[in-house]
């Protein structure tokens, strides 16, 4: 049913550390690999050998430039379904294919009843849902529902594929409804935040902000004595200015 | 938003069909037109054909059209589901009205009952169509109180233009229908102008800084995109019409949808010979059709989706 559960016993979700993410795309590719054979199969691509290769992926890693001047920084930003507490993608669904599980809060699409109307993708402000044109149904992050409860896996593998793949430990998985869980404590300690809190969908996934720089010398402007030699315009001055610039490379 | 032709045809054709159905139902209930079976057959036939073409066109938008029946189940939360149910329910009184009008009443009061039930059913259906869009806070241009009223008024206006043509073609006095058209077209023009003013002046409240949560570190600008070719989100949500094209197309849709059909409606008030009336009403219908298609295309093309903040930065 597309009506939302009153409460969920757990709030399973991800905590993504924007401080340690290096934008390597390992989470995105491992997600694609796992889900092309798991719950979301087939997860198709189109025109793969042509001039417009594109396809359905459930996790996308952006890179942003944030701030200006010496304080600017590059932030790598993985983006996937946030498994909101009150997701509009579920309530707009006309068929009941989109649903939020009362047991653990995971938002899923039933691929056997989805009609591919795409309205859920319009309702999501996070661009988290991607329509599979070959399969004719909507696809989204399943939080690797087919891994996390899989008892044939070693315990350390019972996490979403993106979490298992992250080489810098920037992705954490757990119950954000339990204030004592490791992920909840991490969010508390690092002041994790919601994306677009003003939209009111109460995302479960949290993001951790980049830490303050410990050593600002490399980022600050060069000290006066080290500044490039400013030539007055004579040939010798310009030669020394050129030499200074070249040697400083 | 990507202006999908199936959805543009769905909303405009079914809108005009429901508008014509409403006016024919009012005319039948109030005895404004003679109980001419041919008029009933062609009039309600055109109305139901437009409605059906629109609904079938909407299923072309689906990835799995064979499962469309499933869309009737979630009326508790989904406006799309409500629209589907209202559309199907409307066939019942419309069918009773049409069969009674063309073949004579099977049960006494069939025409009046069918007519009076058709009006609210059709109005509710068009309202639900508008609410599918108006209920999405992710799209600023649609999250506006005038969206659903404009859908309803434009359905009545385009239906009125068709009714004028129908009456003229059958040699009946089209003047009352022309007055209805002029009034509803003028109201539609007023509401659409207010709507455009609203979306041009409403503040853009969502920012790339809020979308990424990184505003505390300064402005957020896209540096490296996550993929080289546009994905579904960019293809579906990233469509944007250039500002100056939008201005031109707004003027074009005002001319075709409001100015020319209102002028034609006023000409129909004169006591012109029948061939002139038919020609004028035909031109008004063609103009309004082109105009409402332009208006609906713009409704999609001008709408920006919040998710594009992740790709474009800025505000939405």
Q: Is the pLDDT of residue B189 over 70?
A: yes
Which one-letter DSSP state was computed for residue A89? H
Count of C-beta atoms within a 10 Å radius of residue B6: 15
* pLDDT tens digits along B220-250: 999 999 999 999 999 999 998 888 899 999 9
Q: Is the pLDDT of residue A228 over 60?
A: no
**Which is more confidently placed, A3 or B115?**
B115
Interface of B with A in 70-89 (CB under 8 A): 70-74, 76-81, 84
Chain A residues whose beta carbon lies within 8 Å of the beta carbon of residue B63 = 114-118, 131-133, 135-138
Q: How many CB pairs under 8 A join A and B?
A: 209
Asked if B306's CB is within 8 angstroms of A199's CB, the reply is: yes
- Residue A48 is predicted with a pLDDT of 95
Q: Compute φ and ψ for A80, nearest 5 degrees.
A: -150, -175
| Domain A12-208, second-level architecture | 2-Layer Sandwich (3.30)
- Residue B56 is predicted with a pLDDT of 95
Interface of B with A in 116-135 (CB under 8 A): 132, 135
Q: Is the pLDDT of residue A70 over 90?
A: no
* pLDDT tens digits along B247-268: 999 999 999 999 999 999 999 9
Judge whether A134 is closer than 8 Å to chain B, CB to CB. no
Instruction: List alpha helices for chain A, DSSP H.
Output: 26-35, 88-91, 119-123, 145-148, 161-165, 182-190, 235-247
Q: What is the mean pLDDT of residues B178-194?
A: 98
The yes/no answer to whether this complex scores an ipTM above 0.85 is yes
- Residue A232 is predicted with a pLDDT of 64
**Closest by alpha carbon to B154, among B29, B15, B45?**
B15
* pLDDT tens digits along A75-103: 999 999 999 999 999 999 999 999 999 99
Chain A residues whose beta carbon lies within 8 Å of the beta carbon of residue B77 = 2-3, 90-93
- Residue A72 is predicted with a pLDDT of 92
Among all residues of chain B, which has the CA nearest to that of A212? B217
- B139 bridge partner residues: B305
Q: How far apart are the first and last CA of chain B?
A: 13
Confidence band of A243 (pLDDT split at 50, 70, 90)? confident
Asked if A65's CB is within 8 angstroms of B216's CB, the reply is: no
Confidence band of B302 (pLDDT split at 50, 70, 90)? very high
Chain A residues whose beta carbon lies within 8 Å of the beta carbon of residue B6 = none
Q: What is the set of domains in chain B, with CATH numbers? A: 5-312 (1.20.1630.10)
Distance from chain centroid for Cα B143: 16
Among all residues of chain A, which has the CA nearest to that of B217? A67
Q: Which two tokens stand for residue A225?
A: 């004595």
Chain A nearest-CA distance from B77, in A, is 5
Distance from chain centroid for Cα A235: 54
Chain B residues whose beta carbon lies within 8 Å of the beta carbon of residue A60 = 226-227, 231
Q: What is the mean pLDDT of residues B114-139?
A: 98
- Domain-wise residue ranges, chain A: 12-208
Q: Is the pLDDT of residue A226 over 90?
A: no
3-state secondary structure string, chain B?
CCCCHHHHHHHHHHHHHHHHHHHHHHHHHCCCCCCCHHHHHHHHHHHHHHHHHHHHHHHHCCCCHHHHHHHHCCCCCCHHHHHHHHHHHHHHHHHHHHHHHHHCCCCCCHHHHHHHHHHHHHHHHHHHHHHHHHCCCCECCCCCCCHHHHHHHHHHHHHHHHHHHHHHHCCCCCHHHHHHHHHHHHHHHHHHHHHHHHHHHCCCCCEHHHHHCCHHHCCEEEEECCCCCCCHHHHHHCCCCCHHHHHHHHHHHHHHHHHHHHHHHHHHCCCCCHHHHHHHHHHHHHHHHHHHHHHHHHHHHCCCEHHHHHHHCCEC
- Residue A246 is predicted with a pLDDT of 85
For chain A, the average pLDDT equals 92
* pLDDT tens digits along B50-64: 999 999 999 999 999
* pLDDT tens digits along A180-200: 999 999 999 999 999 999 999
């Amino acid at each position: 049913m597309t009506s939302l559960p009153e409460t969920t016993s757990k709030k399973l979700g991800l905590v993504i550390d924007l401080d340690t993410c290096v934008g390597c795309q390992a989470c995105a590719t491992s997600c694609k690999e796992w889900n092309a054979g798991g719950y979301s199969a087939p997860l198709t691509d189109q025109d793969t050998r042509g001039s417009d290769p594109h396809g359905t992926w459930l996790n996308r890693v952006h890179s942003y430039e944030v701030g200006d001047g010496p304080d600017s920084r590059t932030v790598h930003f993985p983006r996937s379904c946030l498994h909101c507490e009150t997701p509009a993608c579920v309530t707009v669904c006309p068929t009941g294919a989109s649903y939020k599980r009362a047991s653990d809060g995971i938002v899923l699409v039933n691929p056997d009843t989805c009609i591919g109307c795409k309205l859920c993708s319009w309702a999501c402000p996070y661009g988290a849902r991607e329509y599979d044109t070959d399969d004719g149904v909507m696809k989204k992050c399943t939080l690797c529902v087919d891994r996390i409860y899989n008892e044939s896996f070693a315990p350390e593998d019972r996490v979403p594929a993106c979490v298992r793949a992250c080489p810098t430990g920037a992705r954490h998985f757990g119950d954000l409804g339990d204030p004592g869980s490791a992920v909840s404590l991490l969010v508390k300690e690092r002041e994790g935040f919601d994306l677009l809190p003003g939209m009111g969908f109460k995302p479960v996934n949290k993001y951790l902000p980049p830490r303050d720089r410990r050593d600002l010398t490399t980022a600050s402007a060069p000290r006066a004595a080290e500044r490039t030699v400013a030539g007055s315009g004579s040939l010798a001055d310009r030669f020394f200015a050129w030499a200074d610039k070249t040697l400083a490379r | 938003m990507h202006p999908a032709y199936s959805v543009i045809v769905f909303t405009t054709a079914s809108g005009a069909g429901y508008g014509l159905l409403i006016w024919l139902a009012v005319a039948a209930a109030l005895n404004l037109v003679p109980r001419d079976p041919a008029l009933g057959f062609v009039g309600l036939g055109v109305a139901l054909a437009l409605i059906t073409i629109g609904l079938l066109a909407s299923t072309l938008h689906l990835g799995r059209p064979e499962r469309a029946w499933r869309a009737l189940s979630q009326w508790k939360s989904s406006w799309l589901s409500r629209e589907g149910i209202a559309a199907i329910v409307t066939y019942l009184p419309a069918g009773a009205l049409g069969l009674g009008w063309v073949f004579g009443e099977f049960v006494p009061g069939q025409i009046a009952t069918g007519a009076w039930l058709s009006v609210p059913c059709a109005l509710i259906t068009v309202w639900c169509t508008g609410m599918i869009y108006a209920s999405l806070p992710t799209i600023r241009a649609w999250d506006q109180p005038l969206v659903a009223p404009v859908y309803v008024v434009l359905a009545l206006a385009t239906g009125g233009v068709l009714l004028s043509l129908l009456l003229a073609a059958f040699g009946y006095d089209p003047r009352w229908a022309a007055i209805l058209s002029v009034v509803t077209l003028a109201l539609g023009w007023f509401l659409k102008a207010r709507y455009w003013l609203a979306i041009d002046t409403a503040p853009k409240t969502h920012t790339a800084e809020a979308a990424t949560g990184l505003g505390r570190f300064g402005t957020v600008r896209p540096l490296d995109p996550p993929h080289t070719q546009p994905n579904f989100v960019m293809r579906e949500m990233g469509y944007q019409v250039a500002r100056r094209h939008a201005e031109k197309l707004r003027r074009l849709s005002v001319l075709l949808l409001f100015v020319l059909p209102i002028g034609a409606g006023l000409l129909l008030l004169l006591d012109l010979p029948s061939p002139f009336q038919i020609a004028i009403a035909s031109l008004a219908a063609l103009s309004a059709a082109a105009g409402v298609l332009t208006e609906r295309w713009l409704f999609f093309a001008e709408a920006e989706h919040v998710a594009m903040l992740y790709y474009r930065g800025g505000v939405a």
